[in-house]
Amino acid sequence: MIQIRDPVHGYIYANELEYNIIDSPVFQRLRKIRQLASAHLTYPGALHTRFEHCIGSMYLAKRAANHLKSQEIINEDMSNELSIAALLHDIGHGPFSHLFEEVLHEKGMTHENITDRIIRETEIADILSKFGINVKKFSNLCVGTSKNHPRFMNDIIAGFLSVDSMDYLLRDSYFSGVEYGKVDVHRIIDAYEIAGKKLAINKDSVYALESLMLARYEMFRAVYFHKSVRASAVMIIRAMNLSDEELHFTDLNNLDGFLQLTDERILYNISNINSNSENSKLAKKLVIDYTNRKMLKLVFEKIVLGKDKFSTKIFAQRKFRENLAEEIAEKSKIPKSHIFIDVSTATSVPTTSTKESFNEITVLLNKTRKKEFEITKATELPLMNAILGYMNIIRIYTTATYKKKLDTTVKGIFEKEVL
């Protein structure tokens, strides 16, 4: 047993298997991937990394496992697997965490199986095997998609009620120094129930579920979707995107190469790029501006409440955003490359919990006299719906030079569009 002092949870204990994983270079690499990517430029304390977050998630998974063991729902082996899966759930994260995911996403790619490959192809596999874990059967549990484990185990690793969610809310709040994001994790874990193989929450604790929802919502508003936080994020995303043809970040065939990438390394590589392509030059400029904190300027912002045709399109379709950027570029006589359209929805944040998965996973359980379940989808709760429908933000940024010019053009366009 080794002991780790964590500012969020206090002492965290790791057994030999866990410690071996933590001590491996593949895992130690997470020390160089900041949990909130560029947010520390806005919230100076937010320097924490995926490393601490993964260990914190493991802690909560143990807590959850104890709860389920005491009710004889899972056995010791399953308990261990939960703990390890939580520890490894972010092992596949690339540089700048979710920003890298956004880059992949924009390219129509997915990082789904990087995690899987890292677990199967690196020293992690050896460590797991040595301690008697069947790597092949186990690996998908780490991303919450295992068919070899009951659905609720997947739900505990990934999804709205997951230990991942709870840890990042608490941790991001602590290091950012905001008052939001305080979640009563012990109350929620103690309210875990199993309903038809799925993770559910006891009806008596529905307010704890709401509280988690509210904490998450507040962190989105105050931190994750903060306009300055997104300004810096957009710069990094665009710079990675533009330099990719030169630097091949998204070439995931080369796993070793991927495992070398850290936040600092990306900045270094892009700022040392030596190419005449327009894309590369712009990427380089963005990274240098980022380093010198010459941030993009906001010219338009809109919180979308209802669901009209326009907003549905702009959130769902990359093509539509491309066209809009082109239209703006044309009307304003500004190069399209200096127009940044940012749409923030629940999917563009550090969580696997999309509105869809939220809809599916969370259920409310009511043990009636006949031992039947009364299941309510979380989205049927009025509060949930109000909040969920309130996290869509459209923003347009530009470089400082074009701020003024764009200001007027954009207003003209959007008055017409009745946004």
* CB nearer to a second copy: pick between 21 and 153: 21
DSSP string, 29-93: GGGGSBTTTTGGGTSTT---BHHHHHHHHHHHHHHHHHHHHHTTSS-HHHHHHHHHHHHHTTTT-
218 near a second copy (CB under 8 A): yes
* CB nearer to a second copy: pick between 124 and 158: 124
Min CB(207)–a second copy separation in Å? 4
Hey, which residues between 108 and 147 contact a second copy (CB under 8 A)? Answer: none
Contact letters for a second copy, residues 19-48 (x by CB under 8 A): ----x-x--x--x--------x--xxx-xx
261 near a second copy (CB under 8 A): no
**Tokens at residue 195, please?**
């309903």
Q: For the chain, how many helices (H) and strands (E)?
A: 21, 9
Cα 159–chain centre separation: 11
316 near a second copy (CB under 8 A): no
292 near a second copy (CB under 8 A): yes
User: Which of these segments, 159-167, 333-341, 377-385, 398-406, binds a second copy (CB under 8 A)?
Assistant: 377-385
305 near a second copy (CB under 8 A): yes
DSSP one-letter code for 389: T
DSSP one-letter code for 338: G
* CB nearer to a second copy: pick between 174 and 320: 174
388 near a second copy (CB under 8 A): no
In angstroms, rounded to a whole number, what is the distance separating the alpha carbons of residues 323 and 93?
Answer: 31
In angstroms, rounded to a whole number, what is the distance separating the alpha carbons of residues 322 and 340?
Answer: 10
CA angle 299, 305, 306 (to 5 degrees): 125
Residue type, 180: Y
346 near a second copy (CB under 8 A): no
Residues that bind a second copy (CB under 8 A): 4-8, 10-11, 23, 25, 28, 31, 40, 43-45, 47-49, 51-52, 55, 174-180, 182-184, 186-187, 190, 207, 210-211, 214, 217-218, 221-222, 264, 292-293, 305, 382-383, 385-387, 389-390
